[in-house]
Structure 1
Amino acid sequence: MTTAYRPPRDRLWFARSRHYTLFVLRELTSVLVAWSIVFVLMLADAVLGGSLRQFAALAAQPWMIAINVVALVATVFHTITFLNLAPKATVVRLGGWRVPAWMIQGGNHSAWIVVSLLIAYVILRSP
């Protein structure tokens, strides 16, 4: 009885190409994006539930600060790569003319910066 040849699996297939590596990193950052959402929901619960002091004490722990800094970097990377993919997923035509990818990306990144600055302004101006 013969058995079929099965080549060994390459567990680092994504490391062979820069594009594959960025793809896998982007997918892995989704976990930290989810953590950011959970953290904001915990903050909202603390504000609404009256336990803001306890939440602030938890958020001030060095390990929590480290997780949130890593999550911020991962979220920024995820956002940039997501916005850069938009022209591939959305084709915009104006009167038969296809809007170039750099215009779609530029609009997305500009909107992201404007919204981020607006949120920063509202948060930083409060006492």
Structure 2
Amino acid sequence: MTGVSAYRAPRDRLWFARSRRYALFVLRELTSVLVAWSVVFLGMLVDALRGGAFQEFAALAARPWMIALNVLALAATVYHAVTFLNLAPKATVVRLDGWRVPAWMIQGGNHSAWMVISVLIAYFVLRSP
């Protein structure tokens, strides 16, 4: 049977662009790359502090392209975190004495904990010596 092959439907490479929900899903997944960059950048900072090369790191971090990249990474990380915390009630069912905790309470608790931890970190980082 030469010349006969199985039918393969053409792939739509922009399947996610046809729906807002899918586009937001793909955008959320792509933010993982910038979240990973944030981890790498933090690792570079720790390495510079431990190795005594903080001045070189500060010079690199002060470059306009690096500032733009880190602002973009911050926005992506916030988007990633917010969407992750909003999905928690769908992934976790919390029951107290047979009563199911509503989704808004789980989301509110997650966002409140995030805000409190962020304020504490900001306090310790930004306080004057």
TM-score, length of structure 2 as denominator length = 0.93
Task: Tell me the distance in 2 between the aligned counterparts of 1:20 and 1:73.
Answer: 20
4+ aligned runs moved over 2 Å, structure 1: 1-7
SS in 2 for 1:32: helix
Task: Tell me the distance in 2 between the aligned counterparts of 1:126 and 1:51.
Answer: 23
| Alignment match, 1:118 | 120
Task: Tell me the distance in 2 between the aligned counterparts of 1:119 and 1:16.
Answer: 40
TM-score, length of structure 1 as denominator length = 0.95
SS in 1 for 2:93: coil
Q: Mark the runs of 5 or more structure 1 residues left unpaired by the alignment.
A: none
Instruction: Map 1:36-55 onto structure 2 (within 5 A).
Output: 36-55=38-57
Q: Quote the offset at 1:3 in angstroms.
A: 3.9
Once the two structures are superposed, residues 28-77 of structure 1 have per-residue CA deviations (whole angstroms, 9 ceiling, x without a partner) of: 00000000001011111111111111110010011100100000000000
Instruction: Map 1:1-127 onto structure 2 (within 5 A).
Output: 2-127=4-129
Which letter maps to 1:45? D
SS in 1 for 2:12: coil
Q: Quote the offset at 1:2 in angstroms.
A: 4.3
SS in 2 for 1:57: helix
Instruction: Pick closer, same or farther for the CA change 1:48–1:126 going to 2, 3 Å.
Output: farther
Task: Tell me the distance in 2 between the aligned counterparts of 1:76 and 1:92.
Answer: 25
SS in 2 for 1:116: helix
- Compare 42-51 and 66-75 and name the one that shifted more: 42-51
Aligned length: 127
